[in-house]
């Protein structure tokens, strides 16, 4: 049997989605993949401590004040050093260029806290998505895990999960429930789905 798909998780902040992935891995829910690296574009991000708590190496590749090409060159070098097969964006707030994405065809996964195509596009991330859903008055929201391609907000949808909006919801309470009932379930499922596919592709070469 081939070695498991090597996964890098890219983060920018606290790493709650990373924690869900690491817990799923330790529970045996990602049997075809292994998180071998966590990369933060922000120095001191708590997600790196979460990685260390689980014995996973963490690396910082600072984006602030660095030209895009130089940042992506450094990021690519780190990914190559760790022989990464699959990238999962888990609260990673730095935009990746078209040139970078093209080097990872159907190998970059992102999670968005809504049911795409609703509440996505420029400026729609984090709490802003949930604020928009409440302002619109919709009754159902959720999360989407999708592959990233060179077209902004593009990429094939892998998985979606709906979450009801409650009458007394705030953006904060809705954000928490979307994470618990959708994001933390979908991300490990997507990691396993793609890891199994990557292993199969390697076997067929």
Catalytic residues: 112
The helix/strand/coil state of 87 is strand
> Phi/psi at 3 (nearest 5 deg)?
-65, 155
DSSP element (H, E) containing 22 = helix 16-26
How far apart CA 67 and CA 80 sit, in angstroms, is: 20
How far apart CA 100 and CA 55 sit, in angstroms, is: 28
How far apart CA 70 and CA 51 sit, in angstroms, is: 25
């Amino acid at each position: 049997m081939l070695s498991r798909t090597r996964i890098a998780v890219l983060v920018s902040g606290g790493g709650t989605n990373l924690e869900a992935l690491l817990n799923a891995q330790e529970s045996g829910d990602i049997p075809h993949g292994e998180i071998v690296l966590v990369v933060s574009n922000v120095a001191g991000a708590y997600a790196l401590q979460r990685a260390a708590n689980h014995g996973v190496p963490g690396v910082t590749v600072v984006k602030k004040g660095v030209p895009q090409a130089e940042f992506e060159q450094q990021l690519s070098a780190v990914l190559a050093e760790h022989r990464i097969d699959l990238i999962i964006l888990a609260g990673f707030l730095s935009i990746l260029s078209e040139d970078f994405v093209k080097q990872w065809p159907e190998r970059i996964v992102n999670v968005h806290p809504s049911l795409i195509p609703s509440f996505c596009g420029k400026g729609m991330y984090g709490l802003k998505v949930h604020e928009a859903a409440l302002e619109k008055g919709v009754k159902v929201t959720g999360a989407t895990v999708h592959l990233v391609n060179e077209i902004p907000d593009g990429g094939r949808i892998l998985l979606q999960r709906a979450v009801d909006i409650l009458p007394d919801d705030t953006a904060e309470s809705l954000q928490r429930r979307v994470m618990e009932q959708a994001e933390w379930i979908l991300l490990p499922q997507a990691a396993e789905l793609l890891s199994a596919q990557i292993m199969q592709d390697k076997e067929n070469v």
